[in-house]
Amino acid sequence: MKKTISKITLSLLLLSSTAFADKEKVSLLLDWFVNPDHAAIIIAQQKGFFEKNNLEVEIMEPADPTMPPKLVAAKKADLAVDYQPQLQMQVAEGLPLVRIATLVNSPLNSLIVLKNSGINKIEDLKGKKVGYSVSGFETVLLDAMLKSANLSEKDVELVNVNFSLSPSLMSKQVDAVIGAFRNFELNQLKLEKEEGKVFLPEDYGVPKYDELIVVANKDNVSQVKFKNFVKSLQEATNYLKENPKESWEAFINYKPKELDNELNRLAWADTLPYLAANPATFDKKVYEQMALFMKQNKLVETLPSLDEYAQEILK
């Protein structure tokens, strides 16, 4: 009897170790520190959806947020969280990247002013200081918004505030900031007893786009583990939509000291409506319209065909 039990125990241990060994490893670089924008990823990790789909996912926060797509392009990492417009610029520069999933299929970027600033419409920005973090797409967004009021970049003073958007606004270093996420900076202001007013780029001539996506290297995109990754995101998203309170608890338990705070609590509630309901799919028209916008604004000269840099790999 003891020998039989020992054999059964040994067999179970072997099966367990084999199952663990069979899990495919995936390295994933985020675009920034963990926050509610990454809800689907964190829930997939915390609630076991990655494990269920035979994956062992290593989630990494970058020291330099510009590096993740470059590291994927160089095959130093499997996947990276990226932004649709940045992907299109990266592809135009020759990086071998492909979109495989969407986390947030709506712009989060916005222009924010303090409610008591006297800036009530875009025209009121004339002669004002506008802070930004990264030149290029952000400043083009601003210019497009200004054009809707027959203004241009020349009618404002641009100030590089690095990533200190809310502080520069509250300290009156600038009168407005572009590149502020509507689900974060407004809540930061609220916690500092300030009230912000938001101008949405899509209301002022900027086409809709996917804010957050996941990219893979073009050479590796057909690997089965990436299909399982996207499948896990879909299952996590379904769980999120059905169990928002339980999902919040799972999210903050990922890193309690860093995530369990009032800013994330407020941002969580504001972010959930923006999460892509179907991470595997994307709207081709959205990508085509942004490609045209970027060409018109000289952000890119040419782009390859859409199917070369954006795919639905669960088909």
Given the candidates 3.40.190.10, 3.40.50.300, 3.90.550.10, 3.30.56.10, the CATH classification of the domain at 109-203 is 3.40.190.10
Q: Which two tokens stand for residue 78?
A: 């499997």
Q: Do domains 24-106+209-308 and 109-203 have the same CATH topology?
A: yes
Q: pLDDT tens for residues 82-129?
A: 999 999 999 999 999 999 999 999 999 999 999 999 999 999 999 999
The whole-angstrom separation of Cα 97 and Cα 310 is 9
Structure tokens at 118: 């006297």
Closest C-alpha among 87, 80, 94, 104 to residue 30? 80
Instruction: Determine the Cα–Cα distance for residues 282 and 285; give it in Å rounded to an integer.
Output: 9
- What confidence tens digit (pLDDT) does each residue in 185-228 have? 999 999 999 999 999 999 999 999 999 999 999 999 999 999 99
**Domain-by-domain residue ranges, the chain?**
24-106+209-308, 109-203
Supply the pTM of this predicted model: 0.91
**3-state SS record for 91-132:** HHCCCCEEEEEEEECCCCEEEEEEHHHCCCCHHHHCCCEEEE
Q: Strand locations in the chain, DSSP E? A: 24-29, 55-60, 79-82, 97-104, 109-114, 129-132, 157-160, 176-181, 196-199, 212-217
Quote the Cα angle for 302-303-307, to 5°: 160
Per-residue pLDDT at 173 exceeds 50: yes
Question: 5: pLDDT confidence band, cut at 50, 70 and 90?
Answer: very low
CA torsion through residues 191, 192, 194, 200, sign? negative
Least confident window among 130-139, 165-174, 191-200, 254-263: 130-139
pLDDT at 17 over 80: no
CATH class of the structural domain 24-106+209-308: alpha beta
